[in-house]
Chains A and B, each alone.
With several copies, the nearest count.
Chain A
Amino acid sequence: MILIDKNTKIIVQGVTGKMGASHTKRMLEYGTKIVGGVTPGKGGESIHGIPVFDTVAEAMSATGATVSVIFVPPYLCLDAGAEAIDAGCELVVVITEGIPPQDTAKLIAHAKAKGTRVVGPNCPGLITPGQCLIGILPGVIFKPGPVGMISRSGTLTYEVALGLTDAGLGQSTCVGIGGDPIKGLGYAELLTAFNDDPATEVIVLIGEIGGTAEEEAAAFIKENIRKPVVAYIAGQTAPPGKRMGHAGAIISGGKGTAESKMKAFKDAGVSVATTPLEVVDAVKKCCKQPVTK
């Protein structure tokens, strides 16, 4: 597994908001160590049995948390993220969708300067099945196992994970890196982490149209990654110039096509699937462990 495990202690920023509260409940039900929440002005209250604090600094020093997951509204995320970073969080997971990208750019630059890792924004979070779920992923779909997943999409991750789990292929860790054009952790860092992770045998990379991150990931894999990688790119039928839901999913100026990305992966020796279920088949072929259903 990478990034998180059963000992990871987490605080929730925006814990008393609608999204924050309901997903805190779900994360706790999954067994995630949510040890505190932060909502300015609600310090001293408690929700779902965990204490609420006014500031991240307070929450961290009272609980020993090292990770924060952010559910605050888009225009407050730069502030909330900076608070988590400056309070010393090692990992900040930003679930919120709709953050103006200039804010995201500032947040990510700040995190880099301080050595904090950011997952997201506009992402479903991440999960180490059976140990720790951070974000909004449906835990029931995931099972422990040898497949490491990196994905720009939420529900598409669930689709592939469901297929894997149904086929008896569990996951080491699944990381939804988010659908925005500017984001925290990218393919290279996570590919490296999975490559170094003894629990991961196969890496699944789920990309989509827009940008050139997949082309760069393909080159990176060719140079650095020794484990088998299965890639899938969504948006093979997307028209150019149109934003396909995600802020980052747009083919513009001839760049960012699924064709180009799939070609890059093929050229790098990566197994390329054309549907989510083909991913499962490709993973099966790579897996050393016997498939247990």
Chain B
Amino acid sequence: MNLYEYEAKRIFAEYGITTSPGVRITKPEELRKIHFGYPLTLKCQVLVGGRGKAGGIKFAKDLKEGESLAAQLLALEIKGCKTESLLIEPKASIKRELYLAVTLDRGRGCPIFIGSAEGGIEIESSENVITVPVPGKFQPYIARDLAKKLGFSGALFNKIADCATKLYKLFEELDLDLAEINPLVITEGDDVLALDGKIIVNDDAIGRQKRFTGWQEKHLTDMSVREGRAKLAGLNLVELDGNIGIICNGAGLTMATMDMVKKFGGRPANFLDAGGGSDAEKTLFALEIVNENPDIEVILLNILGGITACDEVAKALVEFRKKHPNRKMSVRLRGNNQDVAAKMLADSGLKLIADVEAAVKDAVAQANSKTPVGVK
């Protein structure tokens, strides 16, 4: 779960990391109540990156300009993601910018500091990236090693190390995937200030991080409406721009099925992993949400039952066919209770295809044809 900048900064402040004194507004007229002087920075609160380039950050020299810019920014959509609110801050006096983050390193299997003497950039494209792993229990000296590698000394050395120590603490205590300060600013007065921040809470940990209970619903704006609904229902849906709706069980099989659709000349409309052991109700939800996509021509259901019982899937299919008898479908259903499933589906007008490639090819053919070839 991505947090908004203003939420990330509140958490930073709680852990003792200095941030700009910011105020969140949702209406331009709220600018009148802001007590710090102009020029002000107005920043769109969105859950996607690239906000600066997309014009999501503006500076206002007075209230009039501020209100006009605020109205404009509040209406802004960035990469399809609506602006939730604006964060208003006094313009910072910047001497230098850095990048500082803590995340989990897959290769090393442990948390890692990432730092760069360049800030405000996309870290992936930076050439001066410093990494310091935290293989065991964190101790502040690891943050000092980072400050040293970033080239600091004197009072700033201690301030940077202290900031990194606090960032690690919140990363660990809040079960984050990412705690990022970008840029971390050194002010003209040699203070260290988090000018922008990003926090990604690990989705699997939200259940034990009580402060985030109920937050997910408000933090789905970086997804399509359907993707968000699927997520809240515990399903992984990723929408694409094709016309073949794909539902499988298991992430790898779903990806492989997408890949085969593409290979055999079709265009996947989505990735939907219905998960292992999904029952009829969950499978029906999956069918319905994929079916809602107006772009799809055909639904390809590829289930290889390990945990998943084929008869539960069949039950959902029977239900779905009743409501949507004309939806073109290709169904491959193999594994536990597949014979029971076949019997249940005998009257549904669906033919079951045992071979995976044959099922994919059938779906592609149906998508490219004008008549529903998959229906007997």
Contact = CB atoms under 8 A, between A and B. Distances in A.
Interface of A: 19, 40-44, 54-58, 74-75, 78-80, 82-83, 86, 97-102, 105-106, 108-110, 124, 136-138, 151-159, 162, 179, 181-183, 206, 208-213, 216, 232, 234-239, 242-249, 252-255, 258, 274-277
Contacts of A56: 141
Contacts of B268: 237
Nearest to A156: B252
B276 A101 contact: no
Scoring B141, B205, B276, B277 by chain A CB atoms within 10 A of each residue's CB, the highest score goes to B141
B253 A155 contact: yes
A44 B255 CA distance: 45
Given A40-B157, A138-B305, A247-B204, 19 more contacts: A41-B158, A57-B145, A80-B141, A82-B137, A97-B276, A100-B202, A162-B304, A182-B104, A208-B251, A212-B107, A213-B106, A246-B251, A249-B252, A249-B255, A253-B122, A255-B124, A275-B357, A276-B260, A276-B356
Contacts, number: 212
Interface of B: 104, 106-107, 109-111, 122-124, 135-137, 139-141, 144-145, 147-148, 153-155, 157-158, 161, 172, 175, 177, 202, 204-205, 207-208, 236, 238, 240, 248-256, 258-263, 268, 271, 273, 276-277, 304-307, 334-336, 356-357
Nearest to A137: B306
A237 B262 CA distance: 7
B270 to A, nearest CB: 11
B277 to A, nearest CB: 8
A108 B111 CA distance: 13
B306 A216 contact: no
- What are the nearest 10 A-B pairs in CB distance? A153-B252, A245-B251, A155-B250, A156-B252, A253-B124, A83-B141, A245-B273, A234-B255, A100-B205, A155-B253
Scoring A98, A159, A210, A239 by chain B CB atoms within 10 A of each residue's CB, the highest score goes to A159
A86 B82 CA distance: 47
Contacts of A213: 106-107
Contacts of B122: 253
Given A154-B250, A159-B253, A234-B252, A99 B204 contact: yes
A41 B157 contact: yes
Contacts of A276: 256, 260, 356
A237 B106 contact: no
Contacts of A245: 236, 250-252, 254-255, 271, 273
B126 to A, nearest CB: 10
A80 B202 CA distance: 21
Contacts of A243: 236, 238
Contact of A98 (B204, B236, B305, B307): B204
A100 B306 contact: no
A27 to B, nearest CB: 13
B219 to A, nearest CB: 14
Given A75-B207, A151-B252, A155-B304, A55 B104 contact: no
A79 B141 contact: yes
Contact of B154 (A19, A41, A156): A41
